[in-house]
Structure 1
Amino acid sequence: MNGADFLQLDPNSAPQGARMAWLTEQLRAGIADGRLAQGVRLPSSRVLADELSMSRGTVVEAYHRLMEEGLVVSNRGGGTTVANVIPATAATPAAQQPQDPGRADGDGIDISSGMPDLSAFPRAAWSRAERKVLSTATSRELGYADPQGVPALREALAGWLARSRGVVAEPDQIIVTAGVTGALSLLAQVLRNRGVTTCAVEDPGADGNRRILDYWMDGLVPVPVDEDGLSVDALAQTSTRAVIATPAHQFPTGVVLSPERRRALVAWADRANGVVIEDDYDAEYRYDRAPVRAMQGLSPERVVHVSSLSKVLAPALRVGWMVAPAHLRDELAEKRWATDLGSPALMQLTLAELLETGALERHLRTLRKKHRERRDAAVEAIAHFLPGCKIEGIAAGLHLVVMLPEHLDDKVVTERAKREGIAVHPLSRHGFTTGVPGLVIGYGPHPIPVLEQALRRLGRIVAGCTS
């Protein structure tokens, strides 16, 4: 392939001091949108460097980054070629798609979810870790695992959660689950056994959590959210003894539960003999603010900390965990055993290896930088294509909220967007009450050009609804 024509790259558009990052993103985008198909050979680093007037080291480092992400492979004597990667924007065959009322018709662009860049999954690091596990796993490790989780993973998680989230936990307090959904299902069943049959939820709050809890519990109690997070005063007016909250980054508004509210929430749990379920779903991603510690450290006996690797690696892994208070742990572990004997051991051992070698944290640093760039591009595009619409929740996470003019119905807007090939969630989908109209936009999965295209079309749709 001739470097002069390669992806029509314009080196003049590369920011000063960030040319390697720019080149990496351009190549990654080409793989994600299918312009660089599986098996396509990239120009040699020398040729591409010459054509772009860059140092060869810049191109070599860009290729190396993509190799670490598993997007390209280096063939001895055969140059660098694109690996077997499913583009992030490729449509899943309809027969395999989960039923989602927000999905775009046809081969559209889905900006409805707070997903990470799945094309950046660290395939090379995963393969190395998996090969090591397969070559070193003992007969005992290949047998039936502890239903709470493989000890090596629980030990690695305890250390990682302590240094990254301030979680206070010994390995035997951690229960490995099938994602946050698995954790909530176990918790709901154990709480029901103890006479806790209702759960308070944030309003607005995560629709997925609400649906899971509603399946297991007799009722859900909505509690309003304001600029300081969950209203503990409103919670105290209810008779429920369980509440689920997203303290570090409220979904979907993006607000942080204030220190005063955190202390008040723990005090409520003490008075009510209750449980606070802390969903720490995407606290790894922060851009314009200092890290926010997990609530669990304030009251390990009242707060059940749950999270997963869906936002760091991929939802398909179905790996999550909960840090259980001592008075719930044995019953939760027994319920895990009775459900399915626990999670697959080989995957847990592979994840333990990624944590112990630091590969997972290196991957997270790469993702955080990439997602910040996409967040910045999304904010700029919204300001341009949806002028006058306020943007909230931009300081962290993988999504933001665009507030629409008050006279619009956000469900009508999203239905029109769906017909135009853009999947986006209405803010009202996540609330018990109608509230103010808005759109919840996920920017993590898509390269910047795809994001800009989707937001340009969305701007036209909103303008058409307004006129």
Structure 2
Amino acid sequence: MLWIPIDRSSDIPLNRQVYQQIREKILNGHLQAGEKLASTRELSAELKVSRNVILEAYDQLLAEGFLIARGGSGTFVAEGAFLTQRETLFELNEAENKTKDPIINFRSGIPALDLFPRKTWAKLSHQLWNDIEPTNFGYDSPEGRLELRQTLAQYLLRTRGVTCHPEQIVITSGATQAMTLVSRLLLTPKDTAIMEDPITNDIQTIFKSSGASIYPIPVDEDGMKTALIPENLHPKFVFLTPSHQFPLGGTLPIQRRIQLINFARRNNCLLVEDDYDSEFRYEGSPVSSLQGLDSELVLYIGSFSKILSPALRIGYIVLPTHLIEKCRQLKWFTDLHTPSLDQLILARFIKDGYLERHIAKMKKFYKSQRDFLIQCLHTTFSHKVKVLGYSTGMHLIVELEDVHFSKKLLLQIERFGVKIYPVEDHSIEKGKYTNRIILGYGHLKKNEIEEGVTRIFHAVYDKE
């Protein structure tokens, strides 16, 4: 007789419990091919359950091919249902994975999630779900909802100097998908793309995955050193973050922007502008976009992950007109379209002025966070520290005198309960930024910032 433990307190139905346990015994060979099973009456009596429970379990196993029924003879284990089990590679030991103190993670690009305007968002969502027509629950256009594209075109012109028609916008599932679409749109294995160095490692990976080669151009305190771009290279595009260079924080001056425009015109290539968290500029207004200088040469990429929340997964590309149709087709074959209802809520959120009010509020908050972090760094490290790239965004760069952030030191810092991110992780040509780290502060509490800076100091300078 089969030994099948029944848990009557479980949420799993009894017939499912019987089915799962017989299935498992057959897969691992405890019940072998040709072996006869107890009749439904016998098993129901043994397990003290209804016969219908056993019938439903047997029927499911018969339907999936685990069992075969022989008229007048009974129910047997089918041939070929044994599966050799792989050895378990690891087991999660919760006790080992619990640290004495929680990790303070200085990851960049994470907004203050507890300050997401959830009441306003919920109100608009409620209104939308009550107002919209049933047709809005169907498949939608790959380029995104017209309501959002129209609102976004007006918003970008007003706040970022981006000149475009709603038809030039394709709504994406975040900036990562936007980068992936650009890679598929423009690159083949024989092509070259010019990129700032350093630049986000994820973006390097996306563009390299096409098989294209990456040509790095160094940056300084003013962004990409455009004078170093070779005239004979003929890239498919130049990728840069001109309003807020990631990770070093520079802002590209107009002279270098014009050099880029002229280079692109001479070489018949495009410029890809990633507008990285430039809304949060603490000295003066946000810098105008590169796209506004020549809308047919620049692909402009943005998202709402840092302004609002990464969970929204809404980004966008503003395209030159000759790339619109091809990009729409690529978007369609990637995931049909970005979720429509979230787009409609966001369109109302922008149109009714909530987005700009939220940005104004968050600028004050992030500036306070930034100033507190800088104060903690200078108080703790004194003359040993230099703080860079702090005019915009939700991170800054820390340069420590006579410190090399090796893998050994990074592990030491993590043992002290802090996660930090070296600039070297994002550099293409290695060895230039070994004493610099990126500290994100948007999502941390002030007590976490203060404690994190203290732990970094002790990890770096205390001798064990």
Find out whether 1:380 has 2:378 as its counterpart.
no
Which aligned segments of 4 or more residues in structure 1 are displaced greater than 4 angstroms? none
1:220 & 1:273 partners in 2: Cα distance? Answer: 18
With the length of structure 2 as denominator, give the TM-score of the two structures. Answer: 0.75
Residues 280-312 of structure 1 deviation map (CA, whole Å, 9 limit, x = unaligned): 020110112442101100010011000100111
1:215 pairs, out of 209, 217, 225, with: 209
Q: Which residue of 2 aligns with 1:226?
A: 220
2:197 & 2:249 partners in 1: Cα distance? Answer: 13
1:420 pairs, out of 394, 399, 416, with: 416
Paired residues of 2:221 and 2:249 also in contact (CA < 8 A):
no
1:273 & 1:412 partners in 2: Cα distance? Answer: 46
Residues 128-162 of structure 1 deviation map (CA, whole Å, 9 limit, x = unaligned): 11111111112332222111000001011111111
Could you tell me the percent identity over the aligned residues? 34
Find out whether 1:140 has 2:132 as its counterpart.
no
1:324 & 1:313 partners in 2: Cα distance? Answer: 23
Range with bigger deviation, 120-129 or 211-220 = 211-220
Paired residues of 1:105 and 1:419 also in contact (CA < 8 A):
no
Q: Which residue of 2 aligns with 1:458?
A: 456
Name the amino acid aligned to 2:415: R
Q: Which residue of 2 aligns with 1:47?
A: none
Q: 1:260 to 1:406 in 2, by over 3 A?
A: farther
Deviation at residue 176 of structure 1 after TM alignment: 0.2
1:393 & 1:372 partners in 2: Cα distance? Answer: 13
Q: Which residue of 1 aligns with 2:12?
A: none
Paired residues of 2:245 and 2:276 also in contact (CA < 8 A):
no
Name the amino acid aligned to 1:269: A
Deviation at residue 234 of structure 1 after TM alignment: 2.1
SS at match of 1:141: helix
1:250 pairs, out of 245, 253, 259, with: 245
Equivalent positions of 1:29-428 (< 5 A) are 107-192=102-187, 197-237=191-231, 238-388=233-383, 389-428=385-424
Residues 18-48 of structure 1 deviation map (CA, whole Å, 9 limit, x = unaligned): xxxxxxxxxxxxxxxxxxxxxxxxxxxxxxx
1:217 & 1:266 partners in 2: Cα distance? Answer: 26
2:444 pairs, out of 446, 451, 454, with: 446
2:119 & 2:367 partners in 1: Cα distance? Answer: 23
2:408 & 2:155 partners in 1: Cα distance? Answer: 44
Deviation at residue 212 of structure 1 after TM alignment: 1.7
Paired residues of 2:394 and 2:441 also in contact (CA < 8 A):
yes
2:116 & 2:152 partners in 1: Cα distance? Answer: 20
Deviation at residue 167 of structure 1 after TM alignment: 0.5
Paired residues of 2:186 and 2:236 also in contact (CA < 8 A):
no
Q: 1:269 to 1:110 in 2, by over 3 A?
A: same
Q: Which residue of 1 aligns with 2:36?
A: none
Deviation at residue 250 of structure 1 after TM alignment: 0.4
Paired residues of 1:105 and 1:418 also in contact (CA < 8 A):
no
Residues 210-259 of structure 1 deviation map (CA, whole Å, 9 limit, x = unaligned): 12222234221111112221122222353422121000010111110111
SS at match of 1:311: coil
Deviation at residue 414 of structure 1 after TM alignment: 2.3
SS at match of 1:386: helix
1:286 & 1:324 partners in 2: Cα distance? Answer: 25
Residues 352-394 of structure 1 deviation map (CA, whole Å, 9 limit, x = unaligned): 1111111122111111111010000000000011222110011
Q: Which residue of 1 aligns with 2:432?
A: 435
Q: 1:325 to 1:106 in 2, by over 3 A?
A: farther
1:341 & 1:463 partners in 2: Cα distance? Answer: 53
2:331 & 2:458 partners in 1: Cα distance? Answer: 49
Name the amino acid aligned to 1:148: E
2:422 & 2:412 partners in 1: Cα distance? Answer: 12
1:427 & 1:409 partners in 2: Cα distance? Answer: 9
Deviation at residue 196 of structure 1 after TM alignment: 6.8
1:431 & 1:178 partners in 2: Cα distance? Answer: 26
SS at match of 1:276: strand
Residues 378-432 of structure 1 deviation map (CA, whole Å, 9 limit, x = unaligned): 0000001122211001111100000122452354432221121101101111112
Paired residues of 2:187 and 2:236 also in contact (CA < 8 A):
no
Bigger CA radius of gyration:
2
Q: 1:196 to 1:186 in 2, by over 3 A?
A: farther
Q: 1:264 to 1:411 in 2, by over 3 A?
A: farther
1:144 & 1:260 partners in 2: Cα distance? Answer: 46
Name the amino acid aligned to 2:118: R
1:255 & 1:288 partners in 2: Cα distance? Answer: 13
Paired residues of 2:300 and 2:319 also in contact (CA < 8 A):
yes
Segments of structure 2 that go 5 or more residues without pairing to the other structure are 1-90, 93-98
Segments of structure 1 that go 5 or more residues without pairing to the other structure are 1-93, 96-103
Q: 1:240 to 1:464 in 2, by over 3 A?
A: farther
Name the amino acid aligned to 1:216: S
Name the amino acid aligned to 1:200: I
1:407 & 1:346 partners in 2: Cα distance? Answer: 50
1:411 & 1:287 partners in 2: Cα distance? Answer: 33
1:164 & 1:140 partners in 2: Cα distance? Answer: 33
SS at match of 2:265: helix
2:358 & 2:174 partners in 1: Cα distance? Answer: 20
With the length of structure 1 as denominator, give the TM-score of the two structures. Answer: 0.75
